[in-house]
Amino acid sequence: MTQPSWLKAAVRRSADEDWTLGFIFKRYRQFKNKSSEELAEELGCSLETLDWLSLCRVPSEERFAEELSVITQRFNVDPNRLAPVLLLAKILRTVSEESDGEERSNGSSIKLLAARDRSPDKKDS
């Protein structure tokens, strides 16, 4: 199927709208230093599917699982691959907002060193 001529322009614009997955994907790619191709591979989808996903609204906190399910079913993407991308982007946004607030309040900056997710059943090596 041929992509409509307007799709690429819409995807570029979505990267500037914080309510879209395009915005989330842009932040995620910047943080992870990944290309669109690498993100598509990580999500297990084509670049065309990634473009269409970029136009979707970010799932709300109140209905995250339900809205994630709708998106992943519509675009045939594994929710176990998309959810971590969305959650990391949310964390980055929260840290950025807190950092901005901290800098405004006392002139110092917060430094994010590192964070690691661990499952309770995994042991340190």
Residue 20 pairs in a beta bridge with 57
Whether residue 123 has pLDDT greater than 60: no
Alpha-carbon distances of 32 from 38, 84, 88, rounded to whole Å: 10, 13, 10
Buried b (16+ CB within 10 A) or exposed e, 80-113: eebeebbebbbebeeeeeeeeeeeeeeeeeeeee
pTM greater than the 0.75 cutoff? no
- Report pLDDT digits (tens) over 10-50: 999 999 999 999 999 999 999 999 999 999 999 999 999 99
- pLDDT category at 121 given cuts 50, 70, 90 is low
Confidence at residue 99, expressed as pLDDT on a 0 to 100 scale = 65
